[in-house]
């Protein structure tokens, strides 16, 4: 018998916003949990309803993703959430920093999309890209991250234009600062006090994502800015 529940893949599901998105989708979707640490993903999978399971891939190497997509099969929702920030000035950013940030934040998203588009087209699926405020407004000290997020937005808009005829929906989500390891580490590095209550909760960002995914099929939330 075929499984009536739709299937979603969430990259960077081990913690932060990605884990919250996996939790928000799990009541209605079977979720593949992307990340590098199989044990933490297995623990999360045990905690979720439905057929959640780990999808262990290092997105720092886009050329190696293909082998890991072979067993995914049907896919209805692809959430590109994994990212690295690497704060610092452009004056200090080495070619390795640019390469690391773009490999995870853009090149892997592009390659994963390319590999999974046939399945997404078949099911008139949905691609959600977790972007950032930094993908719309530039601040100092995060040039490579912001550049990767601006490029991710361009990628999303091109994908939206090209895939609309196939019925594939594309949504860019631009959250403001959110209480996760990414923010906590940035505050530590800057020697600033970290106050979780000054940030969005990951669950709030995830609720917006889940609403976009559950919108009626004829309605596409093309972008959402969360403040």
Number of helical (H) and strand (E) elements in the chain, helices listed first: 8, 7
Separation CA 52–CA 30 (nearest Å): 5
Question: Could you tell me the CA-to-CA distances from 176 to 128, 130, 141 in Å, in that order?
Answer: 17, 11, 16
Residues 149-168 that bind ligand NAP (CB under 6 A): none
Query: Contact between 113 and ligand NAP (CB under 6 A)?
Result: no
Separation CA 216–CA 18 (nearest Å): 23
**Nearest approach, Cβ of residue 167 and ligand NAP (Å):** 26
Query: Contact between 54 and ligand NAP (CB under 6 A)?
Result: no
Query: Contact between 206 and ligand NAP (CB under 6 A)?
Result: no
Q: Which is nearer to ligand NAP, 13 or 117 (CB)?
A: 13
Residue 191 · residue 6 · CB < 8 Å: no
Q: Which is nearer to ligand NAP, 59 or 212 (CB)?
A: 59
- Is 145 catalytic? The answer is yes
Separation CA 103–CA 109 (nearest Å): 9
Residues 123-142 that bind ligand NAP (CB under 6 A): 130, 132
Question: Which residues in 63-97 are b (16+ Cβ under 10 Å) and which e?
Answer: eebeebbeebeebbbbbbbbbbbbbbeeeebeeeb
Q: Which is nearer to ligand NAP, 27 or 176 (CB)?
A: 176
Among 30, 168, 178, 208, indicate the residue that binds ligand NAP (CB under 6 A). Answer: 178
Report residue 149 as tokens: 């997020």
Separation CA 41–CA 69 (nearest Å): 17
**Nearest approach, Cβ of residue 218 and ligand NAP (Å):** 28
Residue 226 · residue 204 · CB < 8 Å: yes
**Nearest approach, Cβ of residue 73 and ligand NAP (Å):** 21
**Residue in this structure with the two tokens 């959250």, named with its chain if needed:** 175
Query: Contact between 83 and ligand NAP (CB under 6 A)?
Result: yes
Candidate ranges 8-16, 24-32, 62-70, 214-222; the one touching ligand NAP (CB under 6 A): 8-16
Query: Contact between 175 and ligand NAP (CB under 6 A)?
Result: yes
Among 16, 62, 143, 144, indicate the residue that binds ligand NAP (CB under 6 A). Answer: 16
Extract the runs of DSSP E, i.e. beta strands, from 36-115.
Answer: 53-56, 77-80
What does the binding site for ligand NAP look like in residue numbers (CB under 6 A)? 12, 14-18, 35-37, 58-60, 81-84, 104, 130, 132, 175, 177-178, 180-183
Give the residue numbers marked as catalytic: 145
């Amino acid at each position: 018998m075929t499984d009536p529940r739709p299937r979603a893949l969430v990259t960077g599901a081990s913690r932060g916003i990605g884990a919250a998105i996996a939790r928000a989708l799990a009541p209605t979707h079977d979720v593949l949990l992307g990340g590098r640490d199989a044990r933490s993903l297995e623990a999360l999978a045990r905690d979720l309803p439905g057929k959640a399971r780990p999808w262990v891939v290092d997105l720092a190497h886009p050329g190696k993703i293909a082998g890991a997509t072979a067993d995914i099969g049907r896919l209805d929702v692809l959430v590109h959430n994994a990212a690295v920030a690497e704060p610092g000035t452009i004056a200090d950013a080495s070619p390795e920093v640019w390469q690391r940030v773009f490999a995870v934040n853009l090149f892997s998203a592009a390659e994963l999309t390319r590999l999974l588009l046939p399945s997404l087209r078949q099911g008139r699926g949905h691609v959600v890209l977790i972007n950032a405020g930094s993908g719309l407004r530039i601040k100092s000290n995060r040039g490579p991250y912001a550049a990767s997020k601006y490029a991710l937005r361009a990628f999303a808009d091109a994908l939206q234009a090209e895939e609309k005829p196939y019925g594939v929906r594309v949504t860019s989500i631009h959250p403001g600062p959110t209480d996760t390891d990414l923010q906590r580490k940035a505050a530590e590095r800057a020697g600033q006090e970290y106050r979780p209550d000054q940030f969005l909760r990951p669950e709030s960002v995830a609720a917006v994502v889940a609403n976009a995914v559950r919108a009626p099929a004829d309605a596409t939330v093309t972008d959402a800015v969360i403040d």
